């Protein structure tokens, strides 16, 4: 089952509710773009590629919701839907990328009627989702070159099938290495405050029979200093043109620790997540989520009543801590300002059919 998929029987979007895993698997359906935006905001769906696919299908839903009989009226409704969807989570660039891709389809003047636009938007959303699976497989193949037999890999947050339409980014590299018969072990950061590592990555590795240990986030440096980590793999929600990487909070400290301990540090990044319009990571908007996520774990309060907390969802790892960046167009090494741009251009030439 894909994380995000269109139900062609009901003509609704369906998504795995990741808030309930690993204890319950539910796949609710969504019939409005507003509900999709709320699901993105509430982290029913999470992970930059999965958010992008959800937004693309959300635009298809918006077209179906609209009562517009002509193309211009439909386009006005789609522009409003785009505004709502893009505001759901500001850091993940795939969201805006997918929405703008759908708006380009909607403005194609070869489409003669509003119904033609509706059909084209659904087809494009499905194409985007299928491409995501194919490019993740390709990234896994490239990234597996970095993994030696017997390696221990440190992984942060969740970057597997649940964070994408299917397969995964950084975890996809681990899956590919495992499929190749390499004997690997994974140290899984729990990833406070929402515990995506403990809840989701551990579940995905368990399902595939890949050996792993769950560790507290603040134990990562201990294992690196002892020489027990060969490679750090992380994802990215937005990568700036110079190679600065915005990813789940806690990634920056891993980059610094890896550099200090001589451990290679590789983000695994589809080129749709590379924002060439942003010169540096300092320009990436950082989402700050509700403080209750820090003050509570599930339904259990863990701090004194009445106190405040800060809860940035992401941090930025400067490119000087990045060994290389794995993309569907290959592994990119410094100088990133030049080579990321070339990788994006190569990726545009790839045919996914």
Last residue of one domain, picked from the residues 136, 166, 201: 136
pLDDT score recorded for residue 94: 87
Q: What is the mean predicted confidence (pLDDT) over 309-316?
A: 96
- Under the banding of pLDDT at 50, 70 and 90, the label for residue 211 is very high
Contact 308, 291 (CB under 8 A): yes
Same domain, 193 and 78: no
Alpha carbon dihedral 280, 81, 40, 90, in 10-degree steps, equals: 20
Asked whether residue 184 is domain-assigned, the answer is yes
Asked if 96 and 161 sit in the same domain, the reply is: no
Which of 111, 136, 161 is a domain's end point? 136
Same structural domain, 143 and 129: no
Lowest mean pLDDT among 34-38, 158-162, 252-256, 348-352: 348-352
Q: How much of the chain exceeds pLDDT 70, in percent?
A: 99
Instruction: Say yes or no: 192 and 338 in one domain.
Output: yes
User: What's the pLDDT score for residue 205?
Assistant: 98
Q: Which of 136, 161, 186 is the last residue of a domain?
A: 136
The yes-or-no verdict on residue 219 having pLDDT over 90 is yes
Q: Which two tokens stand for residue 195?
A: 């515990």
CATH of the domain at 85: 1.20.120.420
The answer, yes or no, to whether residue 4 has pLDDT greater than 80, is yes
Q: Could you tell me if 213 and 325 lie in one domain?
A: yes
* 353 falls within a domain: no
The verdict on 150 and 122 lying in the same domain is no
Same domain as 295, residue 164: yes
What does pLDDT average to over the chain?
A: 95
Residue 318 and residue 300 share a domain: yes
Residue 168 and residue 221 share a domain:
yes
Tally the domains of the chain: 2
Helix axes 114-144, 93-106, angle to 10 degrees: 140
Is the predicted pLDDT of residue 353 greater than 70, yes or no? no
Tell whether 172 and 315 lie within a shared domain: yes
Alpha carbons 52 and 273: distance in angstroms, whole number: 10
Active-site positions? 237
Give the pLDDT band (50/70/90) at residue 47: confident
Same domain for 172 and 114, yes or no, is no
Residues spanned by the domain of 89:
4-136
Residue 16 is assigned to a structural domain of this protein = yes
**Average pLDDT of 221-240?**
97
Q: For 4-13, 74-83, 254-263, 295-304, which range has the lowest pLDDT when averaged over its residues? A: 295-304
Question: DSSP state, 301?
Answer: E
Whether a cis peptide bond, with omega within 30° of 0, leads into 193 is: yes
Please give the radius of gyration of the chain, using alpha carbons only, rounded to the nearest integer: 20
Are 241 and 326 in the same domain? yes
Helices and strands counted in the chain (H then E)? 12, 16
Question: Which among 174, 145, 152, 312 has a CA at the least distance from the CA of 235?
Answer: 174
Torsional class of 34: left (φ above 0), alpha (ψ -120 to 50), beta (otherwise)? alpha
User: Is residue 19 in some structural domain?
Assistant: yes
Helix/strand/coil for 260: helix
Confidence of residue 12 (pLDDT cuts 50, 70, 90): very high
More confident residue, 348 or 177: 177
For range 124-145, the mean pLDDT: 95
Cα first-last separation, the chain? 21
């Amino acid at each position: 089952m894909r994380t995000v998929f269109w139900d062609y029987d009901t003509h609704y979007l369906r998504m795995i509710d990741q808030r309930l895993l690993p204890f319950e698997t539910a796949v609710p359906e969504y019939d409005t773009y507003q509900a999709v935006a709320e699901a993105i905001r509430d982290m029913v769906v999470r992970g930059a590629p999965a958010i992008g696919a959800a937004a693309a299908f959300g635009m298809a839903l918006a077209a179906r919701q609209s009562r517009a009989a002509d193309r211009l009226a439909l386009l006005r409704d789609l522009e409003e839907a785009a505004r709502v969807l893009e505001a759901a989570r500001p850091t993940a660039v795939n969201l805006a990328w997918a929405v703008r891709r759908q708006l380009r389809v909607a403005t194609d003047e070869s489409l003669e009627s509003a119904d033609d636009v509706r059909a084209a938007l659904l087809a494009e959303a499905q194409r985007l989702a299928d491409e995501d699976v194919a490019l993740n497989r390709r990234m896994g193949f490239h990234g597996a070159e970095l993994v030696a037999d017997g390696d221990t890999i440190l992984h942060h947050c969740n970057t597997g099938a649940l964070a994408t339409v299917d397969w995964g980014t950084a975890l996809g590299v681990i899956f590919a290495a495992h499929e190749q018969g390499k004997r690997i072990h994974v140290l899984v950061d729990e990833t406070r405050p929402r515990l995506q590592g403990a809840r989701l990555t551990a579940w995905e590795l368990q399902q595939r029979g890949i050996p792993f240990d769950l560790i507290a986030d603040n134990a990562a440096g201990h294992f690196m200093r002892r020489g027990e980590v060969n490679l750090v793999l992380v994802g990215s929600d937005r990568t700036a043109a110079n190679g600065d990487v915005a990813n789940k909070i806690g990634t920056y400290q891993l980059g610094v620790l890896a550099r200090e301990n001589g451990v290679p540090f590789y983000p695994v990044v589809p080129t749709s997540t590379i924002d060439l319009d942003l010169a540096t990571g300092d320009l990436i908007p950082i989402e700050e989520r509700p403080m209750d996520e820090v003050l509570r774990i599930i339904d259990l309060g863990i701090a004194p009543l009445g106190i405040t907390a800060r809860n940035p969802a992401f941090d930025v790892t400067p490119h000087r801590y990045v060994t290389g960046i794995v993309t569907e167009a290959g592994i990119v090494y410094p100088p990133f300002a030049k080579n990321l741009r070339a990788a994006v251009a190569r990726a545009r030439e790839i045919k996914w059919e």
